[in-house]
Every structure is written in C-alpha cells, then in structure tokens.
Amino acid sequence: MKKIIKITVLVFFVSISLKSFAQEMTPPKPVENKVLDAMAGEWTGVSEMMGMKYNDNLKFYWNLNHQFMFLETKAVGKDNPSMTYSGLAIIGVNPDGTAKVWWFDDWGTMEMASGNGTFGDMKFTSNTSNEMYKDTHMFEVNGNELTITWNSTMNVAGKEQKMDGKTVYKRK
C-alpha cells in the first residue's frame, strides 16, 4: 500500500512539473515591427543587374508564428525571359530591435549570406556578407512604393568589383 501511495505522489508531482514546464515553453508573442508590416505584401518593379533589365516580383510575408518576415524574390529578364533569378531572405527581429538576416538564392550555398540590420522611420537597412561579397540593401516604404537601394563589393578572381543599383517597386 505504501508503494502505491509513493507512486501516486510521484506521478502527481511529475505531472505538475510537466504542466509547469509546458506553460513556460509557449511560443513568443508575434513580432511587432511597423517597417516590416508596411513591407508585407506583393511588389513589382524593373531592376537592372549587370546591364540587363529584369521584371521583378517581390513577396514579403510573416511566417513561423509571426517571428520572421520572409521575402521571396523572382526576376525574369525583360528582353530575355530565359534569364531568371530567385532568392529568399529571412528577416528576424532581435529583442533589442535590430535584425538578423539570412539570404539564400538559386546559386546555392556559395552565395548564402547572413548579417544584421537596423530599422529607422519606415526604413530597413540590411548588411549581409559571405566569403565572396559584402552587401548593403536599404529598403524604404512610402505608401504604395518600396524603394530598394543596394551596393555590393565582390571579390572576383582576387579583384574587388563594386556594383550598385536602385529600384522603385509598386504594390500589387
């Protein structure tokens, strides 16, 4: 009988401990960020890269319990539709209000980059890098327009190459 009482008491305390642990392990509240909220949605524009014009489609959306903003980008050559580019950025907001950024694209792991970012008045600046390049993107939302200005420094065959651009996107 004493053994049954001990087991019952043990089961009782274990269940209380597990319940308490489970309550502490709830996901965080959704991220609140006015700049990322303003960027959410779909945008179109015409960009230029390496002398070619591209029709761009951007899609920003919250994902994973509203903890990360995902940016899917797809570009198709304006005069040569066989030239395509796809990428995915994942933006997370740290407790101090800065950002953590990851960039993936169809060039694979050699082009994967990570970095950080800061937020201002309807602006987001992202700084990412990898072994080959350093990149800064500045996003500015103004109503139904999203302006992205960027500059990159890339190491090609031991020589540093600089590139930059600016594209104004319209909300779909």
Per-residue confidence in pLDDT tens, the chain, 172 aa: 666 666 665 555 555 555 555 567 889 999 999 999 999 999 999 999 888 999 999 999 999 999 999 999 999 999 999 999 999 999 999 999 999 999 999 988 888 999 999 999 999 999 999 988 999 999 999 999 999 999 999 988 889 999 999 999 999 9
What distance in Å separates the CA atoms of residue 154 and residue 111, rounded to the nearest whole number? 11
The conformation of residue 37, written as its DSSP 8-state character, comes to H
Ordered structural domains, the chain, with CATH: 34-171 (2.40.128.20)
Identify the CA nearest to 33 among candidates 102, 92, 101: 92
pTM of the model: 0.84
**For residue 111, what pLDDT is reported?**
82
